[in-house]
Amino acid sequence: MIENSIENNTHLPLLQFATPKVMAASEIYIPEGKIFKKIFYIKKGILRNFFVTKSGEEKTIFFRWEGQIVAIPECIFDNQPTRQTWQALEDCELMEIDFDMVEKLSENNISLIKTRLGLAQKMLLEALKRVESFVLDKPEERYQKLIREKPEIIKRVADKHIASFIGVTPVSLSRIRKRLASQKK
């Protein structure tokens, strides 16, 4: 399923300038501190972005997978270096597009700006849903929702990454899994 297609409409000019990028699983795509002024489309694979805490732990904030268009908000919106690291979790195939190009093309292309607005809105709804879940749900419920709503993604990602995604330690997630398994019987 294509989540944010760039292959279906009036934005062919973008694709013209897209360049392919291939990465192996576990490879670092974007290191912390970089001002990454590209957007990219994921043709294949999963990536995650994470913070490294003072004590060296990696805290995963989001997963991104095939069909999605990704922009790093702080870089693209604010021209700031990202404090996070982006890593391929599987062998990935991306299509990169220079963002300065997008900006230039946007100047007099109202349809392209509308596309950008749509993408920002989509990302916002996703982030808000996440906030909701942190406010309303216990970790156990967040985990259950995740299995229910994104089962195929969960299977492809290590539990330790899921753990920080829902805001708990890997040990705690393991206990949650155990509790849920015993309740089912």
> Would you count residue 120 as binding its own copies (CB under 8 A)?
yes
> Would you count residue 51 as binding its own copies (CB under 8 A)?
yes
Per-residue string for binding with its own copies, 76-115, x by CB under 8 A?
Answer: -xx-----------------------------x-x--xx-
Report strand pairing: 46-52 vs 19-23: unpaired
DSSP state of 62: E
Residues 9-48 within binding reach of its own copies (CB under 8 A): none
Applying CB under 8 A, among 128, 158, 171, 180 the residue interacting with its own copies is 128
> Would you count residue 146 as binding its own copies (CB under 8 A)?
no
Query: Between vectors from CA 124 to CA 78 and to CA 13, what angle results, nearest 5°?
Result: 65
Q: Which is nearer to DNA, 71 or 166 (CB)?
A: 166
One-letter identity of residue 22: V
Three-state DSSP at 118 gives helix
Please say whether the beta carbons of 30 and 73 come within 8 A: no
**Measured distance CA(27)–CA(136) in Å, rounded:** 35
Instruction: Spell out the alpha helix ranges (H) of the chain.
Output: 12-17, 73-78, 99-106, 110-136, 139-149, 151-155, 159-165, 170-184
Q: Which is nearer to its own copies, 23 or 49 (CB)?
A: 49
Applying CB under 7 A, among 16, 19, 80, 169 the residue interacting with DNA is 169
Count of residues near its own copies by CB under 8 A: 31
Three-state DSSP at 23 gives strand
Applying CB under 7 A, among 172, 180, 184, 185 the residue interacting with DNA is 172
Per-residue string for binding with its own copies, 160-179, x by CB under 8 A?
Answer: ----xx-x------------
Three-state DSSP at 64 gives strand
Summarize as ranges the residues that interact with its own copies (CB under 8 A): 51, 53, 59-61, 73-74, 77-78, 108, 110, 113-114, 116-117, 120-121, 123-125, 127-128, 130-132, 134-136, 164-165, 167
